[in-house]
């Protein structure tokens, strides 16, 4: 990512996360990841060996923790130094399981808090 892209992602995280998900650079990156995964949920494929259509692109390093990776499909694992996926296509039920904090929030907080991918 460029300096200005990282600065914009940081701004979104701190001020208005929705703006990130409306950002044209995110929308095109998201489309790129879905195409790369052939619209298949990668967690269903790897964990359950079953096919499910993906409808979400998840940040393995959560956006709010690592805005500097927000548009990176790959990242280097700091421990093993291997190249790993940072953006991954998931179905909605796998995505919920990757975000247990969201399920808890659903009960008490408004829907506007839901859109962290």
Question: Which residues sit at the interface with Zn ion, rule CB under 5 A?
Answer: 41, 43-44, 52, 58, 91, 94, 117
Residue 2 or 111 with smaller CB distance to Zn ion: 111
DSSP 30-94: HHHHHHHTTTB-HHIIIII----B--EEEESS-TTT-GGGTT-SEEE-TTT--EEESEEEE-HHH
CB of 94 to Zn ion, least distance (A): 3
Residue 37 or 117 with smaller CB distance to Zn ion: 117
CB of 80 to Zn ion, least distance (A): 22
CB of 52 to Zn ion, least distance (A): 5
Taking a C-beta distance cutoff of 8 angstroms, is the pair 13, 52 a contact?
no
Residue 8 or 86 with smaller CB distance to Zn ion: 86
| CA dist 56 → 67, 68, 77, 90 (Å) | 18, 20, 23, 5
Residue 4 or 57 with smaller CB distance to Zn ion: 57
CB of 89 to Zn ion, least distance (A): 9
SS3 110: coil
């Amino acid at each position: 990512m460029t300096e200005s892209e990282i600065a914009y992602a940081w701004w979104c995280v701190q001020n208005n996360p929705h703006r990130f998900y409306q950002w044209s650079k995110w929308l095109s990156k998201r489309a790129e990841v879905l195409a790369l995964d052939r619209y298949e949920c990668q967690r269903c494929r790897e964990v359950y060996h079953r096919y499910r259509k993906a409808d979400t692109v998840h940040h393995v390093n959560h956006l709010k923790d690592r805005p500097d990776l927000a548009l990176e499909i790959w990242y280097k694992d700091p421990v093993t130094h291997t190249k790993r996926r940072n953006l991954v296509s998931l179905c909605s039920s796998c995505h919920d399981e990757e975000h247990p904090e969201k399920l808890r929030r659903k009960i008490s907080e408004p829907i506007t808090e839901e859109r962290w991918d």
